[in-house]
Chain A
Amino acid sequence: MTGTFTWSRRHLLAAGAAIASLPAIARLSPAHATQLNWAGIQAKAKGQVVHFNAWAGDQRINDYIAWAAGEINARAGVEVRHVKLADTAEAVSRIIAEKAAGKETGGSVDLIWINGENFAALKSESLLFGPFVHLLPNFQKVDPTEKPTTVLDFTVPTDGYELPWGMAQLVFFYDSARVKEPPLSMAALKNWAAANPGRFAYPAPPDFLGTTFLKQALYETTSDPTRLLRPAGDDAGMVTEPLWAYLDGLHPLLWRKGKAFPKSSAEARQLVGDGETDIYFAFNPGDASSAIAQKLLPDTMRPFVPNAGSIGNTHFVAVPFNAGASEGAMVFADFLLSPEAQARKENAVLWGDPTVLSIARLSAEERKLFDDLPRGVATPTPEELGRPLPEPHASWVAALEQAWQKRYSA
């Protein structure tokens, strides 16, 4: 069974094709993207103000962005302002509205933290600047064969329009002082919730982690998981039927009996910190370790990954078509991809988000940055993580969110 969830040959082929097509696309790209060389970009970037629109639902990430902004200001003279979003859709909506209003230059977003359905929407409407990733020196240190999701975003080829920033995999965390045996499947989770009512909560979709929880549960309940890799169609209702049956049974056993949901994964984590719940999940394997280091969680937290494996993906940064400071945005994006910034991001005490770089492509000195990182007690080992399940096709996001809202938010 698990074989169907892991990366199939088809995906690797698609990834290969995406990589192979990169130079070709670069040749076909708009003149302004190709004629630039790195030195020219850096020169133009100096003095620019980059409005980095990024989800701000986690203070540790905000702190990290503040650090990176300080560094790039000192090194390259680029001023980065973090526009704090509650939901990435806000910025996507603004970009689309600017397009509708005919604002072709000087848009309000210079760089956006993005993946999945938001990327698919912007790419299909040609609202992204690029392809640009081949221009950035640090992209050479990414190996798409080793990490296929660095060029395949929810099965959609990135085609050089977004730069990978971090790897994510769904990991659950439980307080071992209260939970003796972690539930290793969705069925086990429901049984555990029946024995411990009110002690588990998941963020309400459209929060991306809430939606990911739905996808994980869908993987584990639907009869044909491979169907999820193709676009959602008329059969979506039939495919998702087992999921709704599962949730109908689970919700009365949730925190607040499923009448209220935390707004974000960080809030779900806060509930564990407050002693209101015992289990939460995050998209970054180091989440609990860094929360312990920052005294947000007790040090009795431990990780677990469902037996069936868990969904993994990559998150990216992209530059909108009308960005006022695209050069500054690229310089900052390249810094985010640098071994130094990536190692700091992977540091479990600070953020704990795994790198997108290929360790094999780093120099000995750069490799040492990653060797020395503290791991933390609540970070799963690579063996425990296993190979990630691929994200369902981006179109499932809207299908799941709308159906969820109809059922549970009325």
Chain B
Amino acid sequence: MAEALQRLTVHRRPARSAGPSRAAWYALVAVPGVAVAAGLIFVLLPAFGYFPALGGTSLSLQPWRELLAYPGLASAARATLISAFMAMPVALALAMLALAWVAPAGTVRPGLPFVAAKFLSWLLATPHASFALGLSFLIAPSGWLVRIAALALPIDTPPDLLMPRDQWGVSIAAGLVLKETPFLFFAGLTALQQLDAPRMLSIGAGLGYQPGITWFKLIAPRLYRLIRLPIYAALAYALSAVDMALVLGPTTPPTLAVLAVDLTHDPDLARRFPAAALALLHLMLTLAALGIWHLLEKLIAYALRPMLSDGVRSPAPPLRWSMLLGRTLALASIVLGALAILSLPLWSLAATWRFPDALPDCCALAAWQRALPALLLPLRDSLTIAAVVAVLALIAAIAWLQLEPGLPAHARINGRTIAALPLVISDVAFLMGVQILLLEAGLGGGWLPVVLSHLLFVFPYVLLALADPWARLDPRYERSALCLGAAPLRVLLRVRLPLLKPALAFAAALGFAVSLSLYLPTVMMSGGRIATLATEAIALSSGGDRRIVGVYGASQALVIWAGFFAAYWVARRAARPALA
């Protein structure tokens, strides 16, 4: 429906000189395309022994032999796959259950669902690094959960349980579930608004279906198709999450992505050959995982088809119980996530917090005072990078969307797929390739590589966030302006952009947040010269002082929340009756 409307508006637009605008659009698409391709080529070559700067001038299989002989490779692969394939179905199920409960028709219901949605948006806005740090304290045997339990139970020594950092990757999976559930929830919420859910629900009700059944039989399958890209992005992220794995993952050996990064840090530069092979292996694993997921989609769709069309209108008791269980789990994951986030500011204010005290010896600003001098530089650099990246991504997205309408549908779809590539392929692989490219060119890391690499990850989010409101803007505003004789650029600047102010503000805040959360691109592209709040929080996480980690984690989250709050404020100020 929305697409049809969009196509209608496209055709009604006045014809423009298609040549230059088409070329400009292709140039925009080329940036992520070329960057990813270059990164992959320069990881492919060293993986087969070609790396002139390090004396590798002929092709060989030696890097692969070294990689396969590396102790712990199999366990690393096992932990990586288990964490991703355990986390994703659970996160997806929880997100769907939460949607069916919180906003079945696309608008959030009042009461408890409203509170749950608020918490979910808060969880979504919390950066992965901070979140992992909070969660690792929450679930450790001497952590907050056990400390709370110690209020009622006689616990004087923490149990000797292997978590976090278990060798199966279950702790990472837990972290991923809690972080990806809100991501998929909001992707679903946005998609639901395109589905005309209220009408489907009323049709279902007219046929005598209970609302929950209508939702799962009529809405969920279509919704799934709309949020496939976020799901794939989440799966790819789960396989390559370095920041979360450093905090929650196993150490002996770590996950594949961490291992690849470790190998590039080895003083023995010859290790960069097997490192490149590992990065390539990671890429193949990611592609294979996406393929397997796609296959599972088909299998499950086939298996569920009879159930979808069996005509049963009210849930059988087991189904009813499982829905109740799902709702409870969704709520529990929200509570766990909130506790994990809360533990960081609490630690940052603690004078001491000894086991088994349920609450810290509060409150002292000593940690903030100690950390502040060292915090200012990373804070300044993080904000600078995030602001520059968010603005650039926003401008690029506006240009992209403005140039898009003149193009055939398949070009538009291909373009968006290329823009989203950095999110669904292995970032370890293509970032390592870019690093090798910089090394071969005799260039170090620095501001430009960091900003450009951030842009690759931020742009698709900004584009996706802006595309929907962009397409839904009532075309009559612009048509009137054009009829009055305004030039297209003037129409864009004076009519479209002002009307889209709330969407622009949220897209910018999202870009800002994504940039502030990025860990791996900063580490790999900065050449050790630029530290951000994300990299500092992880670097300090093994420093033995949770109060300081709390300061860094909390400030990273606070800055991001401040960005969203500012966007919210802009949106509220800009809300006018004309938009309703």
Q: List the interface of chain A (C-beta within 8 A of B).
A: 51, 53, 56-60, 62-63, 66, 70, 81-87, 89-94, 96-98, 100-103, 107-109, 118, 121, 197-198, 204, 255-257, 259-267, 269-271, 273-276, 294-296, 298, 405-406, 408-410
Task: Render B337-377 as a binary contact track against A, CB cut-off 8 A, 1 for contact.
Answer: 00000000000000110111000000000000010011001
A sample of 24 cross-chain residue pairs with beta-carbon separation below 8 angstroms, ordered by A number, consists of A57-B543, A59-B370, A59-B540, A62-B548, A63-B370, A81-B377, A83-B529, A83-B531, A97-B269, A101-B443, A108-B444, A108-B527, A121-B267, A257-B160, A263-B542, A264-B543, A267-B544, A273-B354, A275-B355, A276-B158, A295-B351, A295-B352, A405-B71, A409-B71
Chain A residue, CB-CB nearest to B439? A101
Task: Render B255-291 as a binary contact track against A, CB cut-off 8 A, 1 for contact.
Answer: 0000000001111010000000000000000000000
Q: How far in angstroms is the closest Cβ of chain B from A28?
A: 27
Residues of B within 8 Å of A298, CB to CB, are: 354
Q: How far in angstroms is the closest Cβ of chain B from A144?
A: 27
The 3 closest A-B pairs by CB, nearest first: A266-B544, A409-B252, A274-B142
Residues of B within 8 Å of A101, CB to CB, are: 53, 439-443
B167 within 8 A of A: yes
Do B140 and A274 touch across chains, with their CB atoms under 8 A apart?
yes
Residues of B within 8 Å of A409, CB to CB, are: 71-72, 252-253
B528 within 8 A of A: yes
Q: How far in angstroms is the closest Cβ of chain A from B365?
A: 15
Q: List the interface of chain B (C-beta within 8 A of A).
A: 53-54, 71-72, 74-75, 140-142, 157-158, 160, 162, 165-167, 250-253, 264-267, 269, 351-352, 354-356, 370, 373-374, 377, 439-445, 527-529, 531, 536, 539-540, 542-546, 548
Residues of A within 8 Å of B269, CB to CB, are: 93, 96-97, 100
* Given A59-B540, A263-B251: A51 in contact with B141 (beta carbons within 8 A): no
Do A91 and B142 touch across chains, with their CB atoms under 8 A apart?
no
Q: By DSSP majority rule, is chain B's interface helix, strand, loop, or mixed?
A: loop
Q: How far in angstroms is the closest Cβ of chain B from A147?
A: 27
Do A85 and B251 touch across chains, with their CB atoms under 8 A apart?
no
Residues of A within 8 Å of B548, CB to CB, are: 59, 62
Do B267 and A410 touch across chains, with their CB atoms under 8 A apart?
no
Q: How far is the CA of A408 from the CA of B250 in the complex (A)?
A: 13
Residues of A within 8 Å of B539, CB to CB, are: 56, 84-86
Chain B residue, CB-CB nearest to A272? B544
Q: How far is the CA of A273 from the CA of B353 in the complex (A)?
A: 9
Do A87 and B265 touch across chains, with their CB atoms under 8 A apart?
yes
Residues of B within 8 Å of A93, CB to CB, are: 264-267, 269
Do B266 and A275 touch across chains, with their CB atoms under 8 A apart?
no
Q: How far is the CA of A98 from the CA of B160 in the complex (A)?
A: 45
Q: Which of B54, B75, B377, B527 lies in contact with A410, CB distance below 8 A?
A: B75
Q: How far is the CA of A93 from the CA of B262 in the complex (A)?
A: 11
Residues of B within 8 Å of A271, CB to CB, are: 142
Q: How far is the CA of A93 from the CA of B529 in the complex (A)?
A: 14
Q: How far is the CA of A56 from the CA of B552 in the complex (A)?
A: 14
Q: How far in angstroms is the closest Cβ of chain A from B232?
A: 31
Do A100 and B267 touch across chains, with their CB atoms under 8 A apart?
no
Q: How far in angstroms is the closest Cβ of chain A from B345?
A: 18
Q: How far in angstroms is the closest Cβ of chain B from A362?
A: 30
Q: How far in angstroms is the closest Cβ of chain A from B162?
A: 5
Q: How far is the CA of A260 from the CA of B252 in the complex (A)?
A: 7
With A255-B160, A295-B352 given, can you name 19 additional A-B contacts, CB distance below 8 Å? A51-B529, A60-B545, A84-B539, A90-B265, A97-B439, A100-B269, A101-B443, A102-B442, A107-B444, A198-B160, A259-B252, A264-B544, A266-B542, A269-B544, A270-B545, A273-B544, A275-B157, A409-B72, A410-B72
Residues of B within 8 Å of A102, CB to CB, are: 53, 442
Residues of B within 8 Å of A85, CB to CB, are: 539
Residues of B within 8 Å of A262, CB to CB, are: 542
Chain A residue, CB-CB nearest to B356? A275
Q: How far is the CA of A325 from the CA of B53 in the complex (A)?
A: 25
Q: How far is the CA of A389 from the CA of B284 in the complex (A)?
A: 49
Most chain B beta carbons < 10 A, residue from A59, A94, A260: A59
Q: How far is the CA of A257 from the CA of B163 in the complex (A)?
A: 12
Chain B residue, CB-CB nearest to A51? B529
Q: How far in angstroms is the closest Cβ of chain A from B325?
A: 31
Q: Which of B162, B373, B444 lies in contact with A66, CB distance below 8 A?
A: B373
Residues of A within 8 Å of B546, CB to CB, are: 270
Do B542 and A94 touch across chains, with their CB atoms under 8 A apart?
no
Do B54 and A100 touch across chains, with their CB atoms under 8 A apart?
yes
Q: Which of A108, A274, A408 lies in contact with B252, CB distance below 8 A?
A: A408
Residues of A within 8 Å of B266, CB to CB, are: 89, 93
Residues of A within 8 Å of B142, CB to CB, are: 271, 274-276
Do B162 and A259 touch across chains, with their CB atoms under 8 A apart?
yes
Q: How far is the CA of A410 from the CA of B545 in the complex (A)?
A: 30
Do A94 and B374 touch across chains, with their CB atoms under 8 A apart?
no
Chain B residue, CB-CB nearest to A205? B252
Q: How far in angstroms is the closest Cβ of chain A from B564?
A: 28
Do A83 and B252 touch across chains, with their CB atoms under 8 A apart?
no
Chain A residue, CB-CB nearest to B530? A83
Q: How far in angstroms is the closest Cβ of chain B from A54?
A: 11
Q: How far in angstroms is the closest Cβ of chain B from A399?
A: 14
Residues of A within 8 Å of B351, CB to CB, are: 295
Do A84 and B439 touch across chains, with their CB atoms under 8 A apart?
no
Do A204 and B252 touch across chains, with their CB atoms under 8 A apart?
yes
Q: Which of A53, A86, A296 lies in contact with B544, CB distance below 8 A?
A: A296
Q: How far in angstroms is the closest Cβ of chain A from B398?
A: 36
Q: How far is the CA of A410 from the CA of B266 in the complex (A)?
A: 18
Q: Which of A256, A274, A410 lies in contact with B160, CB distance below 8 A?
A: A256
Q: Which of A70, A94, A97 lies in contact with B373, CB distance below 8 A?
A: A70
Q: How far is the CA of A198 from the CA of B75 in the complex (A)?
A: 23
Q: How far is the CA of A62 from the CA of B373 in the complex (A)?
A: 11
Residues of A within 8 Å of B75, CB to CB, are: 410
Q: How far is the CA of A256 from the CA of B165 in the complex (A)?
A: 10
Residues of B within 8 Å of A108, CB to CB, are: 444-445, 527-529
Do B528 and A410 touch across chains, with their CB atoms under 8 A apart?
no
Do B157 and A90 touch across chains, with their CB atoms under 8 A apart?
no
Residues of B within 8 Å of A295, CB to CB, are: 351-352
Most chain A beta carbons < 10 A, residue from B71, B250, B373, B528: B528
Residues of A within 8 Å of B373, CB to CB, are: 66, 70
* Given A59-B543, A62-B543, A85-B539: A274 in contact with B158 (beta carbons within 8 A): yes
Most chain A beta carbons < 10 A, residue from B74, B140, B251: B251
Residues of B within 8 Å of A100, CB to CB, are: 53-54, 269, 439
Q: How far is the CA of A91 from the CA of B445 in the complex (A)?
A: 13
Chain A residue, CB-CB nearest to B72? A410
Do A260 and B158 touch across chains, with their CB atoms under 8 A apart?
no
Chain B residue, CB-CB nearest to A100? B53
Do B267 and A89 touch across chains, with their CB atoms under 8 A apart?
yes
Do B536 and A296 touch across chains, with their CB atoms under 8 A apart?
no
Most chain A beta carbons < 10 A, residue from B53, B142, B252, B445: B252
Q: How far is the CA of A57 from the CA of B354 in the complex (A)?
A: 21
